[in-house]
Amino acid sequence: MSTDTTASVSTHILDTSIGRPAGGVAIALAARAGSDAEWTALGGSVTDADGRCKDLPALPEGITHVRLDFETEAYFSTQHSAKKQAEAQQDAPRVRDSGAFFPEVAITFAVTPGEHYHVPLLLNPFGYSVYRGS
């Protein structure tokens, strides 16, 4: 929760290749106070079964920039293994390699004290998009 002197951040991930939330994705949070300042790691979390990450660490006062690092490679490796097992059981042909082209996604954005920033990630093995949600 934000106060008048801090901002807050939340996120969720939707895997658009399957039309479902992306659960189990590790996310690291870093912040800095000014564009010339060094990044400080604040901690992280993992998305739940609904693809949401509701427990990211609070931002300290004076933060102007935030970076979310999504570890997508492990997620897609897990998805690829599950898909491969399902195809083997169904004796279906393999359509395409579903490994991650982007093994990680780093989103950097500016924040203003007192504001909440919800930053959803729309993800698939070969692309992603992000926006400021509500």
Task: Give residue-wise pLDDT tens across range 76-100.
Answer: 988 765 554 444 445 444 444 556 7
Q: What angle do CA 107, 110, 113 make, to 5 degrees?
A: 130
pTM above 0.85, yes or no: no
What is the distance between the alpha carbons of residues 45 and 38, in angstroms, rounded to a whole number? Answer: 21
Q: What is the reported pLDDT for 69?
A: 98
Task: Give residue-wise pLDDT tens across range 28-49.
Answer: 999 999 999 999 999 999 999 9
Residue type, 19: G
**Which of 89 and 119 is assigned the larger pLDDT?**
119
66 pLDDT more than 90: yes
Q: What is the reported pLDDT for 21?
A: 97
Q: What is the reported pLDDT for 78?
A: 84
Q: What is the reported pLDDT for 83?
A: 53
Q: Look up residue 11 and give its two tokens.
A: 């996120």
Q: What is the reported pLDDT for 16?
A: 95
Decide: 114 and 2 in contact? Cβ < 8 Å.
yes
Task: Give residue-wise pLDDT tens across range 2-27.
Answer: 567 789 999 999 999 999 999 999 99
Coil, strand or helix at 120: coil
Q: What is the reported pLDDT for 85?
A: 46
Residue 90: which residues within 8 A CB-CB, separation 6 or more? none
Q: What is the reported pLDDT for 93?
A: 43
For residue 98, report the phi and psi dihedrals to the nearest 5 degrees. -105, 25
Domain architecture of the chain: domains with CATH: 8-129 (2.60.40.180)
